Amino acid sequence: MHRGELVGGSSDGLLPLAHRRDPHLHFVLLRSDAVPAEQALLEAADAVAQRLPNERILLAPPAREIDAWMDASALFLLPAQADPRLADKLKPHAIAAAISVLRARLSSPLFGTTGEDPRRDPIGLRELVRGLSHSIGHVDPHDKMFAPRVTVAGDLVSFDGQAALLLLQSERSLDALETELREAVGDEIHVDVLGEGTRERAARTLVRNAGVHVLVSTLALLAIVLAVEARSIRPVVSMLACALAPALLLVSLLPGIDTLSIPILAISFGIAVARTFICEHQPPAWSSELLLATALLPLAFTEYPAWAHLAWCWALAWLFGSMVVRVMWSDRSLSRASKPWFGRSRVSLVPMRWLAITMTIIVLVAAAWASTHLRYAGPSVTPFHETLAEAEQTLARSFFNQDTLAEARSVATTEEEALDLAAEDARLIAALVPTQVALLDAPGSFVLPSSQVGSRHQALLELRLADAMEVVRSNLVSQGLRVDAFAEFLASTADLSHPPTASAALQGPLAAWIDRYIDRGQTSVSVRSYLHLRHDAAVPDVRGADQAALPLRGPIVFALEDRERFPTWLATLIVLGFSVAGTCAWAHARNLATALATAMGGFVAQAALWLVLDLAGRSIGPHLLPIFLLTGTIAAVLGMRACLASTQVEALAPGAWLVAGLALLAPGGASIVAIEPLWRELGLAWLLGASLATGAGLFIAPGLCAAMRSWSSARAG
């Protein structure tokens, strides 16, 4: 997003910058309704390649280049543990049996349709390589039934031939790129551009349309609540203006309104109106203002950039709002203009000790139980879009899930060294397939690390490949097969003078493909490897010979790491909130029981929110952190005022608190009917959180306060 734009499109604001995807990298999904579609798709892919030659990136090494490279290098790339099986295949009787089986198969009328290519491997040596295919990038058309196939041009085609996938790296605007692609492929091919850029555009559209609806609906609901209470236009307008002041400052401080901002802005409207309304009926307490201003401050210490930024903006906006309310509240004419239906009566609160204690114990025990099985929702957000989700599902079903993509970098001073290091790293990562890594796409997997060249060469020498090829030759002749047809296989298998080293790879048929994985810096060169991590596994701990961990990057990496530490983060934030609430309440009331009861009120509300969300089957993740913190703060603010009311320090205006409660619920009501799932999720959480906070603040906090006071009195007595 560009600085200065009001509407932002960031859909991964919760991801640290290092883990974010490149918005200029676009997957181009081509689909056709025609049956068969493959030829048309291949032609369309070719048209795209011709139209955008400098922007197209090979997704996989072209099939012929793979074959050429593997034909010459397969035996070198076999791991040492495969050597016994290789030796078995090279024994004279095994060779004779393999050639006679080949001859038998050739007599079948359907042999040509089996995909066997005996010319390149008459004795089945490549079967040993196929066992490794999971660790060699996208080169896996044989062993997985639904695996995509690599085209001759280096793109991918789905197993059923109904979709093709290309990769582009383009600085053009998405609209211009789409227009270009549609012109290239024609009307009969359906084109979808997928990636971070597309998500950003969808998010921007969503915020412009549905986001504005949520904010306007929230304001409308708040206006209705205030109008019903005040029955006069002037106080309604004044209070809304008071509420909008901090929200407008918040908007100006945020880098832009994105999908995450919309529900937070709506909630800020609700809290601001509730606060302003309370201030009209009860003198504002500086401690309440401080609590609200610091409500999100703990987020400043988290790793979520959007929340860290929001924490400071919220604090500044709220302090500004407090000043506005002070000025407005000092204008008594506003209060006089309002004619509340509940009158201006004040009551003292009667605390319910045993109810509070019982509820606290039940909620905390149940929340402790719920915390043992967290349903975690990651920080990546896919904005709602009519066709985007369907296209992304097709991409995941037919090719791979772009959200599981992680990146590892092997850094060295030269290209050869970096590729050599990448080859070492690729072998370490390949050992994690399939338990932790679903698929590895790494140029290094085609390269033999320099540290292994000598040992591999010696191992192959001991297999006496040249002698074995002579046996193959004689068996071919005896079975009536033409030796010349297999000449390339015989020559390349016996030739051990060209190991597949990094320098050979950089000059060989795979060089063009490998080039896209290389980043050249001023002083260093890095080679990227891509891993598709499994959602159900931890982040792999890949360590080289020097025991240094290989750094992994990508949304999935952050999500998996965050899943592990999220409960700790949440607990830390709650403890911070607990401390702030207790300190503010103590500073205001100068009473330990009030301070502890206030903090406990917030804590119980947060625990209850966790419990209810768990019982409702909702996932909990970083997107809900502000809701948890605000729930605790609202409960603490209400709890402090209720504690004071219960001890006759100040009276409570019950009608005002009821209206304030409705104002708190309004943003949740507006968000819960939005089309964006994230907003619905946050809206629901806020509805629950605000309700629970009100209950905890008004009933549990004063009850606990009274219990502690009586216990203290009993001890003193």
Partner 1 sequence: MTSRRAFLMGIAGVLFPSSAAADVLEDAAVRAEDVQRLRNRVELWQGFASRSQNLLARYVSIRHSSLLAEPLVSTGTLMFVAPDRLVFHDDTPSGSTTELIESGLRIVPNGGGPAIALDHDRAAAARWLAHKLRCLLGAGTVDELLTDAKAAVPRGSALRLELLPMRGSPTRRTIRSLLVRFEPLGGAVVELELAEARGDRVHMTFSDHRQNLAADQLDTVRARMGSVINGHTL
Give the binding site for partner 1 (CB under 8 A).
Answer: 36, 38-40, 97-98, 100-101, 103-116, 118-119, 145, 159, 161, 477, 480-482, 485-486
Sign of CA dihedral 108, 114, 120, 121: negative
Give the contacts of 711 (CB within 8 A, at least 6 positions apart).
none
Rounded Cα gap, residues 408 and 410, in angstroms: 7
Question: Cβ 119 to partner 1, closest distance in Å?
Answer: 6
Rounded Cα gap, residues 165 and 192, in angstroms: 10
End-to-end CA distance of the chain: 65
Question: Cβ 158 to partner 1, closest distance in Å?
Answer: 12
* Residue among 102 and 629 whose Cβ is closer to partner 1: 102
Question: Cβ 108 to partner 1, closest distance in Å?
Answer: 4
Angle between helices 388-398 and 196-206 (to 10 degrees): 160
Tokens representing residue 588 in the block: 């205001």
Phi-psi region of 256 (alpha: psi -120 to 50; beta: other; left: phi over 0): left
Question: Cβ 565 to partner 1, closest distance in Å?
Answer: 43
Decide: 652 and 668 in contact? Cβ < 8 Å.
no
Question: Cβ 140 to partner 1, closest distance in Å?
Answer: 13
Decide: 223 and 240 in contact? Cβ < 8 Å.
yes
Give the contacts of 140 (CB within 8 A, at least 6 positions apart).
133, 134, 147
Question: Cβ 198 to partner 1, closest distance in Å?
Answer: 29
157 has which bridge partners?
149, 164
- Coil, strand or helix at 640: helix
Question: Cβ 40 to partner 1, closest distance in Å?
Answer: 6
411 has which bridge partners?
526
Q: Cα 252 from chain centroid?
A: 27
* Residue among 97 and 453 whose Cβ is closer to partner 1: 97
Question: Cβ 113 to partner 1, closest distance in Å?
Answer: 4
* Residue among 25 and 106 whose Cβ is closer to partner 1: 106
Rounded Cα gap, residues 378 and 221, in angstroms: 31
* Residue among 490 and 584 whose Cβ is closer to partner 1: 490
Phi-psi region of 615 (alpha: psi -120 to 50; beta: other; left: phi over 0): alpha
Residue 247: how many other CB atoms lie within 10 Å: 22
Question: Cβ 44 to partner 1, closest distance in Å?
Answer: 12
* Residue among 41 and 349 whose Cβ is closer to partner 1: 41
Question: Cβ 189 to partner 1, closest distance in Å?
Answer: 13
Decide the pairing of beta strands 190-194 and 405-412: unpaired
Q: Which DSSP letter does residue 397 get?
A: H
Question: Cβ 162 to partner 1, closest distance in Å?
Answer: 11
Give the contacts of 582 (CB within 8 A, at least 6 positions apart).
595, 596, 598, 599
* Residue among 119 and 565 whose Cβ is closer to partner 1: 119
* Residue among 114 and 522 whose Cβ is closer to partner 1: 114
* Residue among 94 and 412 whose Cβ is closer to partner 1: 94
Decide: 685 and 613 in contact? Cβ < 8 Å.
yes
* Residue among 36 and 551 whose Cβ is closer to partner 1: 36
To 5 degrees, how large is the angle CA 471–CA 474–CA 479?
Answer: 120
* Residue among 157 and 311 whose Cβ is closer to partner 1: 157
* Residue among 71 and 116 whose Cβ is closer to partner 1: 116
Give the contacts of 379 (CB within 8 A, at least 6 positions apart).
12, 14, 15, 304, 555, 558, 559, 562, 621, 622, 623
Question: Cβ 163 to partner 1, closest distance in Å?
Answer: 14
* Residue among 162 and 691 whose Cβ is closer to partner 1: 162
Per the listing, tokens 């025991």 go with 547
* Residue among 110 and 545 whose Cβ is closer to partner 1: 110
* Residue among 231 and 482 whose Cβ is closer to partner 1: 482
Question: Cβ 484 to partner 1, closest distance in Å?
Answer: 9
Decide: 379 and 555 in contact? Cβ < 8 Å.
yes
Decide: 699 and 705 in contact? Cβ < 8 Å.
no
For 159, 303, 443, 596, 712, the CA distances from 640, given in Å and listed in that order, are 64, 31, 62, 10, 19
Length of the chain, in residues? 717
Question: Cβ 63 to partner 1, closest distance in Å?
Answer: 12
For 231, 347, 654, 706, the CA distances from 277, given in Å and listed in that order, are 14, 17, 12, 27
